[in-house]
Amino acid sequence: MERNAHINKLGFGFLRLPETDGEPDWRAVDEMTDAYLAGGGQWFDTCYTYLNGRSEQAIRRCVTERYARESFRLVEKLPGYLCRTYEDCRRYFREEQRRCGTDFFDIFMLHWLNRENYEIAERVDEFRFLREVKQGGCAGRIGFSWHDSASLLDDVLSRHPEVDVVLMQINYLDWESAGIESRKCYETAVKHGKSVFVMEPVKGGTLAKLPPEAERILRALAPERTPSDWALRFVQSLPGVEVCLSGMNRVEQVRENLAPFPPLTEAETEALRQVAEVLRKGGGVPCTGCRYCVSHCPQHIAIPDIFAMFNELQRWPEEDWKIRPVYEQTVKSGARASDCIACRSCEGHCPQHIPISEWMRRAARTLES
């Protein structure tokens, strides 16, 4: 790629959609879909489990029923961890086709592969199912979303060279993280000649609002750029990245994120490394707000909402007059941070490997003091 060529690899993830009264705000999703396609975007992303099926419903209602199939591309994922038999894979796949209103997925993946789910995938022969779908003409390419170490990824890709695409978490804060191993996972996929799709480029919104010390570093280089803009540029500047999926919830955000930009310079990359250092020192829970943990909590604690408020209070202590009342309002019907019984049944479902019960104790001390 030419150094100054402008790029945009933005994909539209249907994981966090605007809602009204617990339902997707259909008008807003239509509007964002129209703006995304009109602005040159192509890729939509969904999964069986996103928003309890409402994400696939939104794909059908706002995309496949309103646009010709050849005018966009769609990524779908099989919840392989729910499959006990090969026939289950077929059953979920047929249901996904029905829910999305299409027979064809441009990319069909196993969702959330980690050590445990990989064992299930091998036991149920789910890679054979991916091949079957592709050979049957129902998928253009096949792959998986990855949530484990780079060394295990290396093993899986060595055993399954038929995979075309790996979807993984990359952002400038996790690039050198020992837990997420973004850089190592990226390099592993590239070494195996795989196309890389990216999730969490703005780390669930964490990188959209920076503490003043971090923001100053970026403003000194480009005062007009927003923190999200910087986060998206970091990911899209990686040559092995084909698509950078972003969950968006405002039409203005879609338009802003679609603006093409030049890849990062070395000075800009260095500035982001410094920002990552500031953020790491500032602490906070590395929660992306994916909500995978929530349905596993017997106490019905709004885990990501509480962590978001805890992080805000850590980073902007002077705003506690605003944050504490919101916390009280959020937990008014019970399920406070202090109601956590440390059962840890949420923790195995967290893709960020967060020791949720420990952080919940700290959140209770901070937010309820």
Question: How big is the site for ligand SF4, counted in residues (CB under 6 A)?
Answer: 27
> Any idea what DSSP says for residue 264?
P
CB of 361 to ligand SF4, least distance (A): 9
- Tokens 């899986």 — which residue? 156
Return the number of other C-beta atoms located less than 10 Å from residue 319's C-beta: 11
Interacting span for ligand SF4 (CB under 6 A) from 59-67, 206-214, 229-237, 294-302 = 294-302
| Pairing of the two strands 195-199 and 165-169 | parallel
- Give CA separation, 269 vs 88, 198, 208, in Å: 45, 18, 17
CB of 155 to ligand SF4, least distance (A): 25
Q: Is 290 in the site for ligand SF4 (CB under 6 A)?
A: yes
Residue in 133, 360, 363, 367 binding ligand SF4, rule: CB under 6 A = 360
Residue in 42, 177, 253, 357 binding ligand SF4, rule: CB under 6 A = 357
Q: Is 177 in the site for ligand SF4 (CB under 6 A)?
A: no
In the chain, where does DSSP find H-type helix? Answer: 26-38, 54-58, 86-100, 115-124, 126-135, 150-159, 182-191, 212-221, 227-236, 251-258, 266-282, 303-315, 320-330, 356-367
Residues with Cβ within 8 Å of residue 128, at least 6 apart in sequence: 86
Residue in 142, 340, 363, 367 binding ligand SF4, rule: CB under 6 A = 340
> Any idea what DSSP says for residue 18?
-
Q: Which is nearer to ligand SF4, 237 or 311 (CB)?
A: 311
Count of alpha carbons within 13 angstroms of residue 184, beta-carbon side: 14
CB of 310 to ligand SF4, least distance (A): 11
Residue in 109, 180, 301, 309 binding ligand SF4, rule: CB under 6 A = 301
The CA distance from 187 to 151, in Å, is 11
CB of 245 to ligand SF4, least distance (A): 16
CB of 168 to ligand SF4, least distance (A): 15
The CA distance from 291 to 282, in Å, is 23
CB of 331 to ligand SF4, least distance (A): 12
Q: Which is nearer to ligand SF4, 89 or 287 (CB)?
A: 287
CB of 235 to ligand SF4, least distance (A): 18
Residue in 46, 304, 312, 363 binding ligand SF4, rule: CB under 6 A = 304
The CA distance from 158 to 271, in Å, is 36
The CA distance from 121 to 108, in Å, is 14
Residue in 169, 228, 288, 311 binding ligand SF4, rule: CB under 6 A = 288
Residue in 121, 293, 331, 367 binding ligand SF4, rule: CB under 6 A = 293
Task: State which of positions 55-94 bind ligand SF4 (CB under 6 A).
Answer: none
Q: Is 365 in the site for ligand SF4 (CB under 6 A)?
A: no
The CA distance from 140 to 45, in Å, is 14
| Pairing of the two strands 105-113 and 139-146 | parallel
Interacting span for ligand SF4 (CB under 6 A) from 53-61, 125-133, 213-221, 293-301 = 293-301
Interface positions with ligand SF4 (CB under 6 A): 287-293, 296-297, 299, 301, 303-304, 340-346, 349-350, 352, 354, 356-357, 360
